[in-house]
Structure 1
Amino acid sequence: MKISGSTALVTGANRGLGRHFARQLLERGAKKVYATARRPELVDLPGVEVLRLDITDPASVRAAASAAHDVTLLVNNAGISTGTNLVTGDLDTIRREMDTHYYGTLHMVRAFAPVLAASGGAILNVLSAMSWFAYDGANAYGAAKAAQWSLTNGIRLELAAQGTLVTGLHLGAADTDMMADYEGEKVDPAEVVRAGLDGIEAGRFEVVVDDWSAHIKASLAADPSLFYTQVPSAS
């Protein structure tokens, strides 16, 4: 599909990648951009149409789908990172990660699939290199992103008959507020968004933004003990 002339909806558009998505969509000639957030008053980008949306609230999602009935491109970007582990972490917090990344994305897809059916259109899910590996201290996030990756592959098959493209966007750490405390290398969020939108226009199923993410994906074909070297071998 072409970005120019499209009508897009971006979740979590008040900051970070979401704000970059909304801005670049406008720059690429999108006819209309719905910029959504749980607190819409925080959306400060000129030229967008602001909607209140909490992707974890089915009623809020239904209201957004009713208001934005002309969408041809859905960008599922909204996310959280709680720094929670699975064995000892708070269960409500773990559920919040899953409710946001997995069920929240699923709510959006189910609500907007009939809207997209009219145009074919496209869905871009913002995933993570952590869809493919675990990291002690953020395992709730990794589990939720792995589930979201599987969801992305599943809905691609289910929506193929109506002509809707489903693209997964994988990245390592982006230089956004969410990763402010991370001290490693970070990728420019504008570069992430550019790669994702280029991937949509190219009809790609998956976009792997940076070398780190590509390395992680390649490691899946090898024995896990080669990647998780911190875990003592049973032998």
Structure 2
Amino acid sequence: MKLQGSTVLVTGANRGLGLAFAKALLAAGAQKVYAGARDPSTVTLPGVIPVKLDVTNPEDVAAAAAIASDVDIVINNAGISGGALLLDAKDGQENLRRIMETNLYGIHAMSVAFAPVLKKNGGGALVNMLSALSWLSLSSTSAYSVSKAAAWALTNSLRNELREQGTQVLGIHAGYIDTDMVSHVDAPKTSPDDVAQRTLEALERGDSEVLADETSRQVKAGFNAPHPAYLSTT
């Protein structure tokens, strides 16, 4: 997938990794970058086109597909975390639903809306921001891990369904990224600029998966270990 002259939509593009994607795309020569955000007034990066886009809102998604009808790359970056534990009798189920609405069903809704757009524009690429937590769960990330595991499976299934129309489907895995979402976490973090750059390089190579940092590489490499991380991590 060539980035020079491309037209791209990034969800959750007003800050953090989404902002890093938008900056990297402009630097790579993208012709047009649509920056999706729930509140488009929070998109302040010069050179991008703000789009009102809450991926859990069907009207927003449909409107974005109409506005950005010239895209050949869609980057599903928007995501949320936090909240109650899975077995919290009061809030666990509602919290899981809330996170799944964005992290799983939001990706699905965007994929349904934009698959015909990508097909019309020659195939293009669909990029889904996943996580090393697609493959393991920490005590503080249980609902988030469920959503990312489901999003990983969704990404693999979308790859199968979109292959015939020539759409590249790229899943990105990383551990903690240095953004507001994990500002409270005391652990090694990868620069969002690094993740964005590795993603764009993978797009241009035609890859299907990015292991964007050492954490994601170690977790996946350990699948066949006697005690893999997903069985023992707390």
> What's the CA shift for 1:91?
1.8
* Separation in 2, partners of 1:158, 1:177: 34
Contact 1:76 1:126 in 2 (8 A): yes
Q: CA deviation at 1:123?
A: 0.8
* TM-superposed deviation, 1:224: 5.0
Q: Contact 1:13 / 1:36 at 8 angstroms: preserved in 2?
A: yes
The separation in 2 between residues aligned to 1:45 and 1:23, in whole angstroms, is: 8
Q: Is the 8 A contact 1:123 1:164 kept in 2?
A: yes
Letter in 1 for 2:142: N
- Residue of structure 2 equivalent to 1:206: 209
> Are 2:9 and 1:9 aligned?
yes
**How many pairs does the alignment contain?**
231
| Pair 1:173 & 2:176 matched | yes
| Contact 1:6–1:30 under 8 Å retained in 2 | yes
Asked if residue 188 in structure 1 is aligned to residue 194 in structure 2, the reply is: no
1:83 and 1:141 in contact (8 A); partners too: no
2:145 is paired with a residue of what secondary structure? helix
**Is 1:127 aligned to 2:130, yes or no?**
yes
Whether the 8 Å contact between 2:178 and 2:192 is mirrored in structure 1 is yes
Structure 1: runs of 5 or more not aligned: none
1:97 matches 2:99: yes
Alignment of 1:130-145 (within 5 A): 130-145=133-148
Contact 2:136 2:233 in 1 (8 A): no
> Residues 204 and 45 (structure 1 numbering): CA distance in 2 closer, same or farther, change over 3 Å?
same
Q: What letter is aligned with 1:47?
A: G
Identity of aligned residues (%): 48
Cα RMSD, aligned residues only? 1.4
Could you list the per-position Cα deviations for residues 35-86 of structure 1 after superposition, in whole angstroms to 9, with x for gaps in the alignment? 0100111111000011000001111101100111001000000001114321
Matches within 5 A, 1:4-43: 4-43=4-43
- How far apart are residue 92 of structure 1 and its match? 1.7
In the alignment, residue 53 of structure 1 is paired with which amino acid?
A: L
User: 1:93, CA displacement in angstroms?
Assistant: 1.5
Task: Tell me if 1:153 matches 2:156.
Answer: yes
Which residue is 2:66 aligned to? 66
Q: Structure 2 length as normaliser, TM-score?
A: 0.95
Taking the aligned partners of 1:202 and 1:117, their CA distance within structure 2 comes to 20
CA separation of 1:226 and 1:4: change in aligned 2, threshold 3 A: closer
C-alpha separation between the residues in 2 aligned to 1:29 and 1:230?
A: 41
Task: Give the partner amino acid of 1:90.
Answer: G
User: Does the 8 Å CA contact 2:138/2:233 hold for their aligned counterparts?
Assistant: no
2:58 aligned partner, one-letter code = P
